[in-house]
Amino acid sequence: MAKKKWLLVPLVVVVGGFLLVWKSRFEWFPAAATRPTRAVKIPLAHPKNPDTISVMTANIALDTPTESQYPWAKRRALVARVLLKYHADIIGTQASSPVQTAYLSHYLTAYLHYPTHAHWGVNVFASLSGALETWNQIWFKADRFALVAAAHGLVRPHHLQANPTENTYYSLVVLRDRLGILPDTIVIDTHLRHGNYNAALCARKLHRILARWKKRFPHAPAMLMGDMNHPKSDAAVYTALCGNSGPGLPPGTRLKDTFDYHARPKGVLWGTWQQFKGQPVIALPSDLILVSPTWRFTPAKILRDHTPKGLYPSDHYFVMSDLTWPGGPRSTP
């Protein structure tokens, strides 16, 4: 009898391991879409210009020991105030740990956000990777949009980088206008990493991901936002981000940068990375909002909010643009 019990142990381990692998299969493949959110009784919005929405990208700076001079506890109230001040309809945040996201969700009560939790992993390393997948959060006003479908994960899951910090993650949502004015919209939030070669490959892969989703939502315009770490002057990455013709780029996903580079003052650093000091490090912005050509938009604005004592909410300026839908067919799944 004792031998039979011992035989059960490896059987349980094998079956348990199989179930964990099955549950975590999306760790090794592109993230699958989530189901639509349940209907929630939220009053509808009554905007003055219902065909126009505001969009913001905000790298809120991860709370790390290397930034001990500007800890999250010191900045978090300012970050929440700035986000609430501009009350964009859609916000893409980057470098937001679960603790930081939990804090913001306490104050951004008019918003829903995605992703809400990390994927399980088959081991501690896969679980850590799943946690990193939640650092790009997409916030959207609950009285204006409903979540139709979503996905998040590694941009290149089969090409992990030797340096783990150089892996790029993305979050994607398909939002439906509860007012029935805008078409279903695909929103992608990402944080490209620093290496040029991998960043360019990730930019191309993001367009292939977008192309897959546009097959399901053929009339859906798109927006791609985030900390790209590469400005327009980095031609290889920027060209791939815009979806201009090139190897590995699918047709029909071309995007337009919302910045008007002709408006840049001559001889002035216009970058959005400023190291908490309000002094841009590079000449051009690297925090970008790119949209489908069907959108009309106001030129992107760099938001330079800070306290009288010189405290900035992040080491990056936030960026915002207003998008107007000119009309056309709504998307259907």
**pLDDT tens track for 262-284:** 999 888 899 999 999 999 999 99
Rounded to a whole number of angstroms, the distance between the first and last alpha carbons of the chain is: 57
Angle between helices 98-107 and 72-86 (to 10 degrees): 40
pLDDT of 179: 95
pLDDT of 26: 38
pLDDT of 22: 39
Nearest-angstrom CA–CA distance, 250 and 189: 19
The DSSP annotation for 214-236 comes to: HHHSTT--EEEEEE-S--TTSHH
Instruction: Give me the percent of the chain exceeding a pLDDT of 90.
Output: 68
pLDDT of 327: 72
Model pLDDT for residues 98-153, shown as the tens digit of each residue? 999 999 999 999 999 999 876 555 444 454 555 678 999 999 999 999 999 999 99
Least confident of 95-109, 200-214, 244-258, 288-302: 244-258
pLDDT of 30: 40
Is pLDDT above 70 for 329?
no
Q: Show the domains of the chain with their CATH numbers.
A: 54-324 (3.60.10.10)
Mean pLDDT, residues 156-177? 90
Instruction: Give me the percent of the chain exceeding a pLDDT of 70.
Output: 80
Tokens coding 136 = 């790009």
Helices (H), the chain: 2-23, 72-86, 98-107, 124-132, 196-216, 235-242
pLDDT of 35: 41
Tokens coding 155 = 């941009």
Is pLDDT above 50 for 18?
no
Nearest-angstrom CA–CA distance, 321 and 55: 5
Is pLDDT above 80 for 19?
no
Nearest-angstrom CA–CA distance, 219 and 185: 9
Is pLDDT above 50 for 294?
yes
- The band of 24, judged by pLDDT with boundaries at 50, 70 and 90, is very low
- Over the chain, what is the mean pLDDT? 85
Model pLDDT for residues 52-70, shown as the tens digit of each residue? 999 999 999 998 876 678 9
Model pLDDT for residues 186-229, shown as the tens digit of each residue? 999 999 999 999 999 999 999 999 999 999 999 999 999 999 99
pLDDT of 119: 58
